Amino acid sequence: MLWIIMTAAAAPLQVARNALQRGLVGEAGPWGATLVRFLFGLPFSITMFAVVSALTPLAQPQLSMRFGVAVIVGALAQMAATGCLLLAMRRSGFAVATVMQQSSLPLGAVVGIALGDRLPAQAWVGVAVATVGLMILSWPKRADVKGGLAGAGLGLASGLAFAFALNGYRQAGLALDPAHPIYSALAGLVTAQTFQSLVLGGVLAVASPKSLKAVASSWRTSLGAGFFGSAASACWFGALAMAPAGPVRAVGVIEAPIAAAVGRRLFKERVSTRQWIGGTLATVGVVLTVLR
């Protein structure tokens, strides 16, 4: 299935973006680093949309209130989720923060059900198993309970916001042109990133000009984060246009072991036996979710 391939491709791209964004938090602050994801990703998203538009001459986009509201809700939720994720990384480490953000898996499925999506029983079992695995994987050490719980709370908030973002973008894709999901996904991505860049850039221009200056001065790293973020978002949007948020996010759990490896290599973070067990359970949950 194409949506599984796109989701699997999004995971390493997202980890690469998160790693680059993490390096920007110290200079630009969490919201300046969040802006990087949208502002520097926008040119790449526009380029991808232009190519897809040329290759989709039969597309018939239907602009509607449903599309506009869904994109705005998704865009606002994504901004909040990204900011919380970056703050969580500072509190509890790269791998743990990324894994806690995976709480968007069960939350995304629940929100999707409220919006009309339907999942088979096996998929729900897979979501439950993956969620248990992620809880084991992300449980903080006793020595780090204070910082770990603070980071875990921010990671959970990020997951909830991402759950709304995922379903918002899915609804936007279905509203615009469900017959051409890739076209619809990239149109939604460009619209969302434009809105996000204007809103967050305007807020920072008033509240924290130093953050904007730091973003501009680190443009080389920002371009890298923007590219990986745009590519990851394109894959996520495309997958969401073809499948409910729950299964899409379940496949995205493969991001967790990738994040753990990156955290160990780049940030000298160790992964315990308990976390490996949790990762194995999460993987089993992914398999159960996608099998039919």
pLDDT at residue number 185: 93
d(CA 52, CA 219): 27
For residue 190, is pLDDT > 60? yes
d(CA 292, CA 288): 8
Tens digits of per-residue pLDDT, 35-44? 888 888 999 9
For residue 73, is pLDDT > 60? yes
Average of per-residue pLDDT values in the chain: 81
Tens digits of per-residue pLDDT, 209-228? 888 888 888 777 778 888 98
pLDDT at residue number 263: 58
d(CA 245, CA 108): 6
Tens digits of per-residue pLDDT, 263-276? 555 555 565 676 67
d(CA 120, CA 292): 9
Distance between terminal CA atoms of the chain? 11
Per the CB < 8 A criterion, the answer to whether 152 and 100 are in contact is yes
pLDDT at residue number 30: 72
Please spell the DSSP secondary structure of 225-262, one letter per residue. Answer: HHHHHHHHHHHHHHHHTTS-HHHHHHHGGGHHHHHHHH
Give the distance, in angstroms, between the CA of residue 62 and the centroid of all CA atoms in the same chain.
Answer: 26
Query: Which pTM does this prediction carry?
Result: 0.80
pLDDT at residue number 265: 57
Q: Please name the residue that has the structure tokens 């919201």.
A: 31
The 10 Å Cβ neighbour count of residue 170 is 29
Give how many domains the chain has, as a whole number: 1
Nearest to 95 by CA among 231, 226, 274, 246: 274
Backbone conformation region of residue 177, classed left if phi is above 0, alpha if psi is from -120 to 50, else beta: beta
Cα distances from 160 to residues 9, 50, 84, 169, in angstroms, run 23, 32, 10, 15
d(CA 286, CA 82): 23
Tens digits of per-residue pLDDT, 236-284? 899 999 988 888 887 877 766 666 665 555 555 565 676 677 777 777 7
Whole domain around residue 214: which residue ranges? 2-290
pLDDT at residue number 149: 66
